[in-house]
Amino acid sequence: MDVFRVTGNGPLKGTIEVGGAKNAALPILAASLLTEETVRLENVPDLSDIRFMVEIMRHVGARVESPEPGVWEVTAAQLTHVAPYELVRKMRASVCLLGPLVGRLRRAEVSIPGGCVIGPRPIDLHLKGLAKLNCKVSIDSGYVHVDASDICGGPIFLGGRSGSTVTGTANIAMAAVLAPGTTRIECAACEPEVVDLCNLLVKMGAHIEGIGSPELTIHGVEKLHGCKHSVIADRIEAGTFIAAAAITRGDVEVKGIAPNLLGAFLDKLEEAGLPMEKKTDSIRVLPYDHSLRPVDVITLPHPGFPTDLQAQLCALMTQTEGLSIITERIYPNRFMHVPELQRMGADIAIEGPSAIIKGASALSGAPVMASDLRASAALILAAMAAQGETWIQRIYHLDRGYERFENKLASLGARIDRLSDKEMPKELRQE
Ligand code: EPU
């Protein structure tokens, strides 16, 4: 297994280009199963999660090929309806196959994805939505079985305890585009990735109104067709690089991202006093010599502050004077990065769903363990601001969602090496 060795090396400097969004590309790949014609997808990031999705799509019978880097062509002439546990367990997002299989084949048998380190990740809202589309839904031996022979549109309230659901909205929209009648999804997720999926579906011939709003109206059509689509930019990757620039007091231009995709995040950084220059398609973080101010943040569904940037903000706030409060409303236990940041010298207390960060800690390099995708990014950020060497194990989590992360950081001047765990000093290894 690979590990990272990161050595604090002062301010980052330069320009980076943001790649395609993982969380848009995954449901969009799945959506291409809704037609027997070829769908060509561009700006698809090269990530292990994308490769898992391709593997499972091939398993259900699609031809999925990559004629050039970043491009995938999907032709789903014939499909089978079973997505087995041994594939689904590798990636929770494979639950996105449920909607397309139901829409296209009128039946689906998809293994229920297991739990996840960031907390319980139920799919009850997906199932409730399908039942409201007049599907017969049952669970047997770890699989969801859907009989959609009488599928038809109808009104669906898709909100749960934490508000809207991103992949739930994607699944119900994908099932509804080919269902007779009109489906009205209330409390639909408004995330830019859901918007991108809906835009793809419209290009394929779907009739969807209210895209980007919490109420989606879908008039079912008989058939969809092939199209070409370029996946939107990854706002979470962009936000991670902005936080990396900020924590090192660097001068970095993050290109290929519209600032309005990061509204709540940039607003908090402005409140903290981070100097930035925003253009239509880029955000530049400017160097500063004052201390940033602490923030009080609650993660919420879009357009609120994204949970996927919470860990990175925690890392940044360890370096500001004063007390920050970061509250998780989407995944209340998503604080696995905190004990590792504490090992590096951060002063953070967890009180219920909140992290209380007493800032301006002098961080020092330590051996730490990555627990999930965004926690991995937070540890790398902290390591760049720390004195000495930090060794980060289990970086396969990072490879799921950041394309060439260490190369991009190194191009900005970071000292980060990917090594085999055999090259890590034995006394520092935690396993
Ligand atoms: N929820 C339910 N029932 C459901 C579905 C969700 O109670 O049937 C709850 C969840 O437990 C959570 C909240 O609703 O508290 C929101 O979950 P959501 O369904 O929106 O999450 P998701 O679709 O499973 C996507 C992203 C996550 C991101 C969340 C929230 C993908 C593939 N994943 O997950 O991304 O954190 O939305 O924005 O799109 C990541 O990239 O690191 C990541 C975890």
Burial per residue of 400-419, b for 16 or more beta-carbon CB atoms within 10 angstroms, e otherwise: bbbbebbebbbebbbebebe
**Whole-number pLDDT of residue 92:** 87
Same-domain status, 335 and 212:
no
If asked whether residues 44 and 180 sit together in one domain, one would say yes
364 alpha carbon – ligand 1 mean position (Å)? 33
Find out whether 156 and 185 touch, Cβ atoms under 8 Å: yes
Task: For a ligand 1 pocket test, name from 47, 91, 118, 121 the mutation site with the most ligand atoms within 8 angstroms of its C-beta.
Answer: 121
The CATH number of residue 73's host domain is 3.65.10.10
116 is known as an active-site residue: yes
Residues 408 and 271 in one domain: yes
Over residues 162-186, the mean pLDDT reads: 97
CA 402 to ligand 1 center in whole angstroms: 18
Do 57 and 177 fall within a single domain? Answer: yes
Q: What is the largest CA-CA distance in the chain?
A: 64
251-268 tens-digit pLDDT: 999 999 999 999 999 999
The average pLDDT across 45-61 equals 96
Does residue 341 share a domain with residue 241?
A: yes
Q: How far apart are CA 195 and CA 188, in angstroms?
A: 11
What is the reported pTM? Answer: 0.97
Structural domain of residue 370, as residue ranges? 2-19+233-428
CA 269 from chain center: how many Å? 20
Residue 32 and residue 11 share a domain: no
Q: How far is the CA of 297 from the centre of ligand 1 (A)?
A: 19
CB-based contact 390:344 (threshold 8 Å): yes
Beta bridge partners of 38: 75
Which has the minimum average pLDDT: 32-36, 98-102, 360-364? 360-364
Distance CA 199, CA 193 (A): 10
Residue bearing tokens 């779907």: 206
Rounded to an integer, the average pLDDT of 28-41 is 98
Domain match, 47 and 7 both: no
Strands 82-83 and 63-68: unpaired
Q: Are residues 206 and 286 both part of a single domain?
A: no
Both 363 and 259 in one domain: the answer is yes
Tally of structural domains, the chain: 2
Using the atom order of ligand 1, give the atom closest to the CA of residue 26.
32
Identify the domain boundary among 230, 254, 273: 230
Strands 347-351 and 323-327, by their bridges, are unpaired
Q: What is the pLDDT of residues 210-232, one digit of tens each?
A: 999 999 999 999 999 999 999 99
Chain center to CA of 175: 22
Domain boundary among 230, 257, 292: 230
Residues 199 and 217 in one domain: yes
Structure tokens at 170: 């994607």
Question: How far is residue 51's CA from residue 321's CA, in Å, rounded to a whole number?
Answer: 42
> Which amino acid is present at 325?
I
C-beta separation of 338 from 314 below 8 A: yes
**How high is the pLDDT of residue 90?**
85
- Go through 380-395 and write b for each residue having 16 or more CB atoms within 10 A of its CB, e for each that does not: bbbbbbbeebbbbbbb
